[in-house]
Amino acid sequence: MSSSTRINAKTQRGVEDLPEGIILKGIGGFYYVDTGRCIYECKARGVFRKDDMIPLPGDRVNISIVDETKGIGNIDEILARKSFLIRPNVANVDQAAIVLAVRAPSPDFMLVDKLLIAAGMVGIKCIICINKIDLGIEDEFKEMADIYRKAGYPVILLSSKLNAGYDSLKKYLDMNITVFAGQSGVGKSTILNSLLESSVMETGEVSQKLERGRHTTRHAELVTLKSGGYLVDTPGFSSFELSELSHSELQNFYPEFEGYIGKCRFTGCSHISEPGCRVKEALEKGLIDTGRYGRYAQLYDILKQQGQNIYKYKKKNK
């Protein structure tokens, strides 16, 4: 869909007559739209249901005012989306802040890599937040940071107890819609609370026995920052499969491979076992992290097997 395309519910009115805003949240069929001067409680017109369109947090919309005094309106038009996440359902996200903890819970690097790939597939830039640095020693979290800095991602070291890293993080959040993602218990809601200096999301303690956080966020919601940006907490965005990605495309979502792709001895090099591979040469020189590369190889094999299974299934059922 082009940037000029609009999803219209009222074609008889000019768009200049309709106030524009952004949906902060939707609850029970009501959508709360921030126009910059007021937050309106809106209903979506029936034509959206007919067209199988559901307004989402992050959607830019045009509304008509029903009652200015009470702040009531209708959503008449959903403007074109530049990005779209399925789980949670959020539109127009600019960037993802991928959160992992030094400890409690132990970092799941495969999950982080999958989240980076998933964000890259829908054109969302990423920053890495290494949280709870107060629980680790300096060499420990610096080594974690080097993994992702070497891959080309901005890395921010955070601790709410030490009040560390938040000024740096705020600079990345200015004027952006940012979605927070990561395994349960890494402190996503605590980070939101610290950024907003108020308890906007209920936080849960980590179970010491299971090292897993009790899921406490109940819905996707945009939270307004003073800088003009928005934050989104991400219920359910911590477990998924990269089912729409082929093994041959995987290399495109590793920024550290970018300077070497197409320069290997063999065309279509998988960077797994072929001689004359520039990616593996960079790996041997320490320019690519060995852990990241190892997880790439694992994901490549999984996606290749997945593709073969799909091919066999389709051939069998012709």
Per-residue pLDDT tens digits of the chain, which is 318 residues long:
333 334 444 444 444 457 899 999 999 889 999 998 899 999 998 767 666 788 999 999 999 999 999 999 999 999 999 988 877 788 999 999 999 999 989 999 999 999 999 889 888 999 999 999 999 888 889 999 999 999 999 999 999 899 899 999 999 999 899 988 888 889 888 888 888 775 454 444 443 433 434 444 456 788 888 877 898 865 545 445 677 899 999 999 999 999 999 999 999 999 999 999 999 999 999 999 999 999 999 999 999 998 887 656 566 666
Please classify residue 230 by burial: count the beta carbons closer than 10 Å to its beta carbon, then call 0-12 exposed, 13-18 middle and 19+ buried: buried
- Using the 8-state DSSP alphabet, how is residue 164 labeled? B
- Determine the pLDDT at residue 219: 67
99 contacts 186 by C-beta, under 8 angstroms: yes
CA 261 to chain centre: 25
Cβ(38)–Cβ(28) below 8 Å:
no
Distance CA 113, CA 250 (A): 11
CA distance 100 to 63: 39
| Start-to-end Cα distance in the chain | 33
Q: How many CA atoms lie within 13 A of 112 on its CB side?
A: 24
Contact 90, 59 (CB under 8 A): no
Give the distance, in angstroms, between the CA of residue 279 and the centroid of all CA atoms in the same chain.
27
* Pairwise CA distance, residues 296 & 318, whole Å: 33
How far is 148 from 314, CA to CA, in rounded Å? 38
User: What is the set of domains in the chain, with CATH numbers?
Assistant: 6-80 (2.40.50.140), 85-232 (3.40.50.300), 250-316 (1.10.40.50)
pTM of the model: 0.81
